Structure 1
Amino acid sequence: MRRPRGQERPITGNRQNSWAFADEYCAELVESAAGDALRWARDRARDAGLNPVSAGSGAALQLLAATAGSKAVAEIGTGTGVSGIHLLRGMRPDGVLTTVDLEPERQQFARQAFHAAGFTGNRARLIPGRALDVLPRLADGGYDLVFCDADRGEYPEYLEESLRLLRAGGLVCFEGVFAEHRTVDSGVQQTDVLRLRELLRTVRESTDLMPSLLPTGDGLLCAVRLEQSTARH
């Protein structure tokens, strides 16, 4: 039962500890399985000043990709391949990851990481370029999952493109929606946080999506694209 506004359960130290424990649990579970390739990709990300997905978020992505039986996944923001490894591990053995990034040199690190993790070259299609220029070229309804981890200010536009790309029953996921706690801060915020709030509101109110906000990493917003006949009203 939903609590009345203003009577939500407070976030206690115990709850924060539980969230931290959940992320650490996944860190042990995932890191031991992923091995050197994942650790190497994380090191390259830190060297480049990037914040790759947490172990908990990576484990969630792997689980979601597996649950969806993903054969085709689109990723916006390749980075150095950390999230890509998680996604590929959850996908079908014949699945292909299409991943887009502005920085080709980062994609070279990702390519090395994918190879080191044991994935053949035909498992990943790496496309350099701005996401909003590349996404319109991808096939309508051709993807089981779309993962977004790039320019937070463009997330609402990524959502629009994702709805076109996803098959019915497919998933869209957005990393970093907490914006290091700024999204829920009542103070004056920059444009990127305002755009995240717009995204959260749009996803929650959409009749085409069934959403959930996972408190892992820096916040992972996920939503299933509903069949038209089962959309909520």
Structure 2
Amino acid sequence: MPAGQVLAHHGHSGFDRVNAVSTSEVGNVPASASVGADHPNAETWSYAELFHEESAAAAEAREAGRAFGAVPVSRGTASTLTVLAKAINARAVVEVGSGAGVSGLALFAGMQPDGILTSVDIEAEHQNAARNAFRTVGIPNQRFRLIAGAALTVLPKLSDGAYDLVLIDADKLEYAEYSEQALRLLRPGGLLVIDNSLWHNKTADPANTDDETEAIRHTLTAIRENEGLVSTLLPTGDGLLVAVKL
């Protein structure tokens, strides 16, 4: 499969010892944690998720997101995003789904000092919260572009091969289409990152055939089979697929 093609889917610290990760602590409950506190690996998964302390600004953004239903990435996912952005010296990043700014703050923490984040979200409330989060930590306005609108309307207007990293965390039914656009936007060596790839343990269970789960499976399979990508699926948070564009 060509590098730019993903088939479209149609269809509808101060770490305290804990036994399981709670929604109140990390937001997007890790798929691994939802197996229950009695699972032999539950404490290890919790330790990994909460390994890095969260900044006060990120914690505030997390609470703000919960207040209006924008589920934030988990703490473990946030720290992974920071590492990924830092590893490739990211200067130009696209985020599909602004949430309340938790993932944006994580990306900024790993980006170059002159890096610019383009964040797309259809909900004005989400973008206002993200803007507030960025300003709280002193990120100047010229370092972020918050674009209000449907991602499939906005993304085609962005420049080919101009971005180092694209994070997808929005409508699951459109993951395949977002991914196609992302591969066009990424430079060689750029990273495609997809949150909620394990979708509350549904992706791995063939008995789950709802539209969102099937859309995620379809997207993951297409990316895995794409010869223009090298990919891996991480169990961080609710699952994080990471692919490098060759």
Q: Please classify the TM superposition score into its range, dividing by the shorter chain length.
A: 0.7 to 0.9
Matched, 1:150 2:170: yes
Residues 128 and 185 (structure 1), Cα distance of their counterparts in 2 relative to 1, 3 Å cut: same
Percent pairwise identity? 45
Task: Describe how 1:53-68 pairs up with structure 2 within 5 A.
Answer: 53-68=73-88
* Unmatched runs of 5 consecutive residues or more in structure 2: 1-34
The alignment's TM-score, normalised by the length of structure 2, stands at 0.83
Contact conserved, 2:202 with 2:208, CA < 8 A, in 1? no
Partner of 1:210: 230
- What SS does structure 2 have at the residue aligned with 1:170? strand
Q: Who is 1:18 aligned against?
A: 44
* Aligned-partner Cα distance in 1 for 2:206–2:231: 23
What is the CA-CA distance between 1:213 and the residue it aligns to? 0.8
**Aligned residues of 1:19 and 1:215 also touching (Cα < 8 A):** no
Is 1:39 the counterpart of 2:59 in the alignment?
yes
2:145 paired with 1:119: no
Q: In the alignment, residue 199 of structure 2 is paired with which amino acid? A: A
Alignment of 1:139-218 (within 5 A): 139-218=159-238
The amino acid that maps onto 2:220 is L
Residue in 1 that maps onto 2:26 = none
Deviation at 1:51, TM superposition (A): 1.4
SS at match of 2:224: helix
Letter in structure 1 aligned against 2:105: I
What is the letter of the counterpart of residue 73 of structure 1? V
Which structure dedicates a bigger proportion of its chain to helix?
1
Q: Structure 1 residue 20: deviation in Å?
A: 2.1
Residue equivalent to 1:229 = none
Question: CA separation in 2, counterparts of 1:159 and 1:133?
Answer: 14
Equivalent residue number for residue 134 of structure 1 = 154
SS at match of 1:57: helix
Match 2:241 to one of 213, 221, 224 = 221
Structure 2 residue 130 is matched with structure 1 residue 110? yes
What's the counterpart of residue 6 of structure 1?
none
Q: What TM-score do you get using the length of structure 1 for normalisation?
A: 0.87
Q: Distance in 1 between matches of 2:178 and 2:227?
A: 17
Output the CA distance in 2 between the equivalents of 1:188 and 1:96: 38
Q: How does 1:67-78 map to 2 (within 5 A)?
A: 67-78=87-98
Show structure 1 runs of 5+ residues with no match.
Answer: 1-10, 227-233
